[in-house]
Chain A
């Protein structure tokens, strides 16, 4: 049990926010167990990112560098990190719980006879690692036993990136042996989902407007909020029936079913036809002047008030927060 290794992920040539959170988790675990923390940054060109990491309170920063690591492949990353872990012999290996990590960390752990404890939201004494079960309806506490490193991935937002402690660290270079033939998958360039057409179904943010808007001439109020949030604009049925917005923007039983991270319902009272269309939303914000509007029953956050005052204020607050 010599050390903690945290694997840093880069996205568009920058260290991803969730990697900083993983680093914060590693430092906290290191403090708890009095173990040194090292960071590893795999890639083809890691010099500048490693330099950035060297400014944090770490025992060392390892550049895991190889030309075949320029694009992510599960075979390349698993092989490279297997060699690193075998060489470093850490007691704990921490990852950010990103889509990339989910794709190779379980295989890496299995190759070393271990099991990843994924999507960890907290670290307790022992240490025990807590994570959610039953789709968030239960919390479970996990413990690792036996020899070999314990693999952990931490959930986005569970630790604070700004809690990472500054310091200085040495940078080491680790060059794994990878053959091109080992890499069996060929990744293509990332692309956006259908950008042209309205695709409410896969939108992450939606601002939706109902009869409270009163007339088509008032739509700019919500359009500005949508723009500030980077959200798609949607509507309840009467709005589309009146032709104020096109039918393809209708959410509800006769329109589209949506499952965004954030659904802002502006001036929508919440008829059942509308509610069934938004039940997959992660977070619902409702703004309505009627405190008894059924939409408040399903909302996470509700604001009772005049949308023509509240919505512009939110637009400003969102703009300020995003700067």
Chain B
């Protein structure tokens, strides 16, 4: 089975968030970068499928030169080769624009399965996989925790709301958006890093993929949220604090 995993390099979870002079994005100067979390789960699922059924895992990532480190990380964890779409203007493209770029690189590869993470930790659109399926004319399912290969195609476990799940059968080739937490991630190893040095990374330029930059949705400005998380100590009699707590859980935290 030939599997393509689309991965994205995002700011590390602990990276400082400072708004840049343009007011449209954060300062990237002192940021450390990491593989998007749900993409790491997509990669893990792909590697496990390959280990079970043999085949090839190709990672695909669009981004500037620095994305190379994340691509190497994916190769170190066991992907066979990589395609890097060199693209410095990712931020100017909307979800459809980025998906068009990826689709143009995927088409000639004719994969049996295309995996993406559910959503990115930075922009959080959560649309790339679903749009890719539309652009490539392939069936898809999203919020997938587990993939089983069958004679007819695939059976996947999809997460529903409130603790429910559902199995879905679909033919291949197909596109799946992978939810985090469905499997256990492997750690990077020294051997993996050393072996990755000799693996192929093909670089394509955004220009040669001929995907238009024009977008219909624009991020106008960004702002820091007003409230920082801090502990609220509720006081009063037992009855009063209990009532206050339930009120907060209902309307502030919105979890009751």
Chain A residues in contact with chain B, CB under 8 A? 74-75, 78, 98-99, 102-104, 106-107, 109-111, 113-119, 128, 131-146, 148, 156-157, 184-193, 202, 204, 261-262, 282-283, 285, 296-306, 309-310, 312-314, 316-318, 320-322
Q: Contacts A106-B127, A317-B246 given: A186-B231 contact, CB under 8 Å?
A: no
Q: Determine if A191 and B143 form an interchain contact, defined as CB atoms under 8 angstroms apart.
A: no
By beta carbon, the residue of chain A nearest B134 is A107
Q: Determine if A184 and B218 form an interchain contact, defined as CB atoms under 8 angstroms apart.
A: no
* Complex A-B: 28 CB contacts under 8 Å: A74-B140, A102-B142, A106-B126, A115-B94, A115-B95, A115-B96, A119-B124, A133-B122, A137-B225, A138-B224, A142-B217, A156-B254, A184-B171, A185-B139, A186-B169, A188-B167, A262-B253, A282-B253, A283-B253, A301-B231, A301-B248, A303-B245, A305-B238, A313-B241, A316-B242, A317-B245, A318-B256, A321-B256
Stretch of B45-53, B72-80, B156-164 contacting A (4+ beta carbons < 8 Å): B156-164
Say yes or no: is B99 at the interface (Cβ < 8 Å to chain A).
Answer: yes
Contacts of B96 in A (CB 8 A): 109-110, 113-115
Contacts of A261 in B (CB 8 A): 255
B 223-241 binary contact with A (CB < 8 Å = 1; else 0):
1110001011111001101
Contacts of B220 in A (CB 8 A): 128, 140-143
Bound state CA distance, A316 and B249, in angstroms?
Answer: 15
Majority SS of interface residues in chain B? mixed
Q: Determine if B217 and A117 form an interchain contact, defined as CB atoms under 8 angstroms apart.
A: yes
By beta carbon, the residue of chain B nearest A308 is B238
Q: Considering only CB atoms and an 8 Å cut-off, how many residues of chain B contact the other chain? A: 70
Chain B residues in contact with chain A, CB under 8 A? 11, 13, 17, 19, 26, 94-96, 99, 121-127, 130-131, 133-135, 139-143, 159-171, 215-225, 229, 231-235, 238-239, 241-243, 245-246, 248-250, 253-256
Q: Determine if B216 and A115 form an interchain contact, defined as CB atoms under 8 angstroms apart.
A: yes
Q: Contacts A107-B130, A187-B166 given: A309-B238 contact, CB under 8 Å?
A: yes
Q: Determine if A99 and B159 form an interchain contact, defined as CB atoms under 8 angstroms apart.
A: yes
By beta carbon, the residue of chain B nearest A193 is B163
Bound state CA distance, A306 and B216, in angstroms?
Answer: 57
Q: 6 other contacts beyond A141-B223, A304-B233, A314-B246, with CB at 8 A cut-off? A: A139-B224, A187-B166, A296-B231, A305-B241, A317-B239, A321-B250
Contacts of B99 in A (CB 8 A): 110
Q: Determine if B127 and A116 form an interchain contact, defined as CB atoms under 8 angstroms apart.
A: yes
Bound state CA distance, A113 and B168, in angstroms?
Answer: 28
Q: Determine if B217 and A115 form an interchain contact, defined as CB atoms under 8 angstroms apart.
A: yes
Q: Determine if B232 and A301 form an interchain contact, defined as CB atoms under 8 angstroms apart.
A: yes
Bound state CA distance, A39 and B164, in angstroms?
Answer: 27
Q: Determine if B222 and A133 form an interchain contact, defined as CB atoms under 8 angstroms apart.
A: yes
Q: Determine if B141 and A301 form an interchain contact, defined as CB atoms under 8 angstroms apart.
A: no
Minimum distance in angstroms from B201 CB to a CB of chain A: 28
Bound state CA distance, A75 and B175, in angstroms?
Answer: 13
Bound state CA distance, A141 and B141, in angstroms?
Answer: 29
Bound state CA distance, A260 and B220, in angstroms?
Answer: 34
Q: Which of B11, B165, B250 contacts A134 (CB 8 A)?
A: B11
By beta carbon, the residue of chain B nearest A116 is B127
Minimum distance in angstroms from B42 CB to a CB of chain A: 16
Q: Which of A104, A187, A262, A313 contacts B242 (CB 8 A)?
A: A313
Minimum distance in angstroms from A233 CB to a CB of chain B: 16
By beta carbon, the residue of chain B nearest A310 is B238
Contacts of B168 in A (CB 8 A): 185-188
Which 3 residue pairs spanning A and B have beta carbons closest together? A313-B242, A106-B127, A184-B139
Bound state CA distance, A76 and B143, in angstroms?
Answer: 18
Q: Determine if A134 and B233 form an interchain contact, defined as CB atoms under 8 angstroms apart.
A: no
Minimum distance in angstroms from B203 CB to a CB of chain A: 27
Q: Determine if B249 and A262 form an interchain contact, defined as CB atoms under 8 angstroms apart.
A: yes
Q: Determine if A204 and B163 form an interchain contact, defined as CB atoms under 8 angstroms apart.
A: yes
By beta carbon, the residue of chain B nearest A202 is B163
Q: Determine if A302 and B234 form an interchain contact, defined as CB atoms under 8 angstroms apart.
A: yes
Contacts of B130 in A (CB 8 A): 74, 102-104, 106-107, 110
Q: Which of B124, B216, B242 contacts A144 (CB 8 A)?
A: B216
Contacts of B225 in A (CB 8 A): 132, 136-139
Q: Contacts A138-B26, A142-B218 given: A186-B170 contact, CB under 8 Å?
A: yes
Contacts of A314 in B (CB 8 A): 242, 245-246
Minimum distance in angstroms from B222 CB to a CB of chain A: 5
Q: Determine if B161 and A141 form an interchain contact, defined as CB atoms under 8 angstroms apart.
A: no
Contacts of A157 in B (CB 8 A): 254
By beta carbon, the residue of chain B nearest A135 is B121
Bound state CA distance, A19 and B103, in angstroms?
Answer: 32
Minimum distance in angstroms from A222 CB to a CB of chain B: 14
